[in-house]
Protein backbone atom coordinates (compact mmCIF):
# COMPACT_ATOMS: atom_id res chain seq x y z
CA UNK A 1 0.00 0.00 0.00
CA UNK A 2 1.36 3.39 -0.99
CA UNK A 3 -0.01 6.80 -0.01
CA UNK A 4 1.16 10.15 -1.32
CA UNK A 5 0.58 13.45 0.45
CA UNK A 6 0.71 16.93 -1.09
CA UNK A 7 0.94 20.25 0.73
CA UNK A 8 -0.13 22.21 -2.32
CA UNK A 9 0.99 25.81 -2.84
CA UNK A 10 -1.30 28.37 -4.41
CA UNK A 11 1.21 29.14 -7.16
CA UNK A 12 3.78 27.07 -9.08
CA UNK A 13 6.39 29.64 -8.09
CA UNK A 14 6.04 28.56 -4.45
CA UNK A 15 7.07 25.28 -2.85
CA UNK A 16 4.69 22.32 -2.82
CA UNK A 17 5.70 19.67 -0.33
CA UNK A 18 5.17 16.00 -1.11
CA UNK A 19 5.59 12.86 0.95
CA UNK A 20 5.31 9.16 0.17
CA UNK A 21 4.50 6.35 2.58
CA UNK A 22 5.35 2.88 1.34
CA UNK A 23 5.62 -0.04 3.73
CA UNK A 24 7.59 1.38 6.68
CA UNK A 25 9.28 4.18 4.71
CA UNK A 26 8.29 7.86 4.80
CA UNK A 27 10.15 10.26 2.53
CA UNK A 28 9.51 13.80 1.36
CA UNK A 29 10.60 16.47 -1.07
CA UNK A 30 9.68 19.70 -2.82
CA UNK A 31 8.05 20.31 -6.20
CA UNK A 32 6.71 23.39 -7.98
CA UNK A 33 4.78 23.04 -11.24
CA UNK A 34 1.66 21.03 -11.98
CA UNK A 35 3.62 18.99 -14.53
CA UNK A 36 6.22 18.10 -11.89
CA UNK A 37 3.48 17.04 -9.48
CA UNK A 38 1.62 14.94 -12.05
CA UNK A 39 4.83 13.31 -13.32
CA UNK A 40 5.84 12.42 -9.76
CA UNK A 41 2.40 10.97 -9.00
CA UNK A 42 2.50 8.88 -12.17
CA UNK A 43 6.01 7.65 -11.34
CA UNK A 44 5.10 6.73 -7.76
CA UNK A 45 1.68 5.24 -8.68
CA UNK A 46 0.14 5.55 -5.19
CA UNK A 47 -3.18 3.96 -4.28
CA UNK A 48 -4.30 7.32 -2.84
CA UNK A 49 -3.28 10.98 -3.04
CA UNK A 50 -4.14 13.15 -0.02
CA UNK A 51 -4.07 16.88 -0.71
CA UNK A 52 -3.77 19.71 1.80
CA UNK A 53 -5.84 22.25 -0.14
CA UNK A 54 -9.53 22.93 -0.71
CA UNK A 55 -10.70 20.77 -3.61
CA UNK A 56 -14.14 22.36 -3.99
CA UNK A 57 -15.91 25.71 -3.68
CA UNK A 58 -18.68 26.52 -1.19
CA UNK A 59 -22.18 26.11 -2.56
CA UNK A 60 -22.89 29.59 -1.18
CA UNK A 61 -21.10 32.10 1.01
CA UNK A 62 -17.42 31.71 1.91
CA UNK A 63 -17.45 28.40 3.83
CA UNK A 64 -18.35 24.82 3.04
CA UNK A 65 -20.09 22.59 5.57
CA UNK A 66 -16.79 20.77 6.10
CA UNK A 67 -15.02 24.04 6.93
CA UNK A 68 -17.72 25.00 9.42
CA UNK A 69 -17.48 21.60 11.12
CA UNK A 70 -13.72 21.93 11.56
CA UNK A 71 -14.18 25.42 12.98
CA UNK A 72 -16.75 23.97 15.36
CA UNK A 73 -13.99 21.64 16.61
CA UNK A 74 -11.95 24.74 17.49
CA UNK A 75 -9.62 24.45 14.52
CA UNK A 76 -8.27 27.31 12.43
CA UNK A 77 -9.54 26.94 8.88
CA UNK A 78 -9.31 29.61 6.19
CA UNK A 79 -12.31 30.04 3.87
CA UNK A 80 -11.63 28.59 0.39
CA UNK A 81 -12.62 31.90 -1.23
CA UNK A 82 -10.64 34.14 1.15
CA UNK A 83 -7.81 36.26 -0.32
CA UNK A 84 -4.82 34.12 -1.24
CA UNK A 85 -6.80 30.96 -0.52
CA UNK A 86 -8.81 31.48 -3.70
CA UNK A 87 -5.80 30.80 -5.94
CA UNK A 88 -4.99 27.69 -3.87
CA UNK A 89 -8.58 26.45 -4.13
CA UNK A 90 -8.65 26.97 -7.88
CA UNK A 91 -5.33 25.18 -8.28
CA UNK A 92 -6.49 22.35 -6.01
CA UNK A 93 -9.68 21.85 -8.02
CA UNK A 94 -7.82 21.88 -11.33
CA UNK A 95 -4.98 19.61 -10.19
CA UNK A 96 -7.27 17.10 -8.49
CA UNK A 97 -9.33 16.94 -11.68
CA UNK A 98 -6.23 16.17 -13.74
CA UNK A 99 -5.15 13.48 -11.28
CA UNK A 100 -8.60 11.88 -11.14
CA UNK A 101 -8.69 11.83 -14.94
CA UNK A 102 -5.62 9.59 -14.64
CA UNK A 103 -7.59 7.26 -12.34
CA UNK A 104 -5.98 8.34 -9.06
CA UNK A 105 -8.09 8.42 -5.91
CA UNK A 106 -7.74 11.95 -4.52
CA UNK A 107 -8.96 13.12 -1.11
CA UNK A 108 -8.85 16.45 0.69
CA UNK A 109 -7.26 16.53 4.14
CA UNK A 110 -6.35 19.18 6.76
CA UNK A 111 -2.96 18.46 8.41
CA UNK A 112 -3.52 20.37 11.64
CA UNK A 113 -6.82 18.60 12.20
CA UNK A 114 -5.14 15.23 11.63
CA UNK A 115 -2.29 16.21 13.95
CA UNK A 116 -4.63 17.28 16.72
CA UNK A 117 -6.73 14.11 16.47
CA UNK A 118 -3.81 11.70 16.23
CA UNK A 119 -1.19 13.31 18.43
CA UNK A 120 -2.96 16.07 20.36
CA UNK A 121 -0.84 18.88 18.94
CA UNK A 122 -0.33 21.04 15.86
CA UNK A 123 3.46 21.05 16.40
CA UNK A 124 4.99 19.60 13.28
CA UNK A 125 8.18 18.40 14.98
CA UNK A 126 6.06 16.33 17.35
CA UNK A 127 4.18 14.77 14.43
CA UNK A 128 7.41 13.58 12.84
CA UNK A 129 8.73 12.28 16.14
CA UNK A 130 5.54 10.29 16.72
CA UNK A 131 5.63 8.91 13.18
CA UNK A 132 9.15 7.68 13.86
CA UNK A 133 7.92 5.99 17.04
CA UNK A 134 5.17 4.35 14.98
CA UNK A 135 7.95 2.54 13.12
CA UNK A 136 8.39 4.65 10.00
CA UNK A 137 11.90 5.11 8.63
CA UNK A 138 12.02 8.84 7.94
CA UNK A 139 13.85 10.54 5.08
CA UNK A 140 12.19 13.88 5.53
CA UNK A 141 13.26 17.47 4.85
CA UNK A 142 13.00 20.23 7.43
CA UNK A 143 10.45 22.49 5.75
CA UNK A 144 6.91 23.00 7.08
CA UNK A 145 5.62 22.06 3.62
CA UNK A 146 7.21 18.63 3.88
CA UNK A 147 5.94 18.07 7.42
CA UNK A 148 2.39 18.92 6.31
CA UNK A 149 2.80 16.59 3.34
CA UNK A 150 3.89 13.82 5.71
CA UNK A 151 0.72 14.31 7.75
CA UNK A 152 -1.28 14.28 4.52
CA UNK A 153 0.34 11.02 3.48
CA UNK A 154 -0.32 9.48 6.91
CA UNK A 155 -3.97 10.52 6.74
CA UNK A 156 -4.23 8.97 3.29
CA UNK A 157 -2.57 5.79 4.57
CA UNK A 158 -5.02 5.58 7.45
CA UNK A 159 -7.87 6.13 5.02
CA UNK A 160 -6.82 3.02 3.14
CA UNK A 161 -6.86 1.14 6.46
CA UNK A 162 -10.38 2.39 7.26
CA UNK A 163 -9.18 4.49 10.21
CA UNK A 164 -10.69 7.75 8.93
CA UNK A 165 -14.05 9.44 8.48
CA UNK A 166 -15.37 12.04 6.05
CA UNK A 167 -16.94 15.29 7.20
CA UNK A 168 -18.92 17.74 5.11
CA UNK A 169 -21.34 17.35 2.24
CA UNK A 170 -20.58 14.78 -0.51
CA UNK A 171 -21.97 17.12 -3.15
CA UNK A 172 -20.23 20.25 -1.88
CA UNK A 173 -16.97 18.63 -0.77
CA UNK A 174 -15.69 16.46 2.07
CA UNK A 175 -12.54 16.51 4.19
CA UNK A 176 -11.04 13.22 5.39
CA UNK A 177 -9.95 13.17 9.03
CA UNK A 178 -8.69 10.39 11.34
CA UNK A 179 -11.34 8.61 13.36
CA UNK A 180 -12.44 10.48 16.48
CA UNK A 181 -14.26 7.60 18.20
CA UNK A 182 -12.71 6.87 21.61
CA UNK A 183 -12.15 3.24 20.62
CA UNK A 184 -9.95 4.38 17.73
CA UNK A 185 -8.85 7.89 18.69
CA UNK A 186 -7.55 7.56 22.24
CA UNK A 187 -6.26 4.07 21.47
CA UNK A 188 -4.93 5.05 18.07
CA UNK A 189 -1.49 3.48 18.44
CA UNK A 190 -3.05 0.21 19.57
CA UNK A 191 -5.39 0.30 16.58
CA UNK A 192 -2.43 1.10 14.32
CA UNK A 193 -0.44 -1.87 15.59
CA UNK A 194 -3.38 -4.19 14.95
CA UNK A 195 -3.57 -3.00 11.33
CA UNK A 196 0.08 -2.52 10.43
CA UNK A 197 1.43 -4.77 7.65
Q: What is the 3-state secondary structure (H, E, C) of the chain?
A: CEEEEEECCCCCCCCEEEEEEECCEEEEEEECCHHHHHHHHHHHCCCEEEECCCCCCCCCCCCCHHHHHHHHCCCCCCCCCCCCHHHHHHHHHHHHHHHHHCCCCEEEECHHHHHHHHHCCCCHHHHHHHHHHCCCEEECCCCHHHHHHHHHHHHHHHHHCCCEEEEEECCCEEEEEECCCHHHHCCHHHHHHHHCC
50, β-bridge pairs = 5, 107
Encode the chain (197 residues) as per-residue pLDDT tens digits: 899 999 999 999 999 999 999 989 999 999 999 999 999 999 999 999 999 999 999 999 999 999 999 999 888 888 999 888 999 999 999 999 999 999 999 999 999 999 999 999 999 999 999 999 988 999 999 899 999 999 999 999 999 999 999 999 999 999 999 997 644 444 455 555 555 44
CATH topology for 2-195 is Nucleotidyltransferase; domain 5 (3.30.420)
What span, in angstroms and rounded, lies between the C-alpha atoms of 69 and 58?
Answer: 13
The whole-number pLDDT of residue 75 equals 86
What span, in angstroms and rounded, lies between the C-alpha atoms of 160 and 176?
Answer: 11
Domain residue extents for the chain:
2-195
Indicate the pTM of the whole model: 0.90
Which residues, in sequence order, are CB contacts of 167 under 8 Å at separation 6+? 65, 66, 69, 70, 174, 175, 177
Amino acid sequence: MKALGLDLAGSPSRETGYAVIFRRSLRSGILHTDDEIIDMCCAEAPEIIAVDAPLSMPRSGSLRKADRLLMGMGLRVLPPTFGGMLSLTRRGIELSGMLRSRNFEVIEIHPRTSGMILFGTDERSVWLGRMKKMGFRLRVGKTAHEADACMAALTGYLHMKKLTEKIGDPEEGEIVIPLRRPSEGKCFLKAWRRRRP
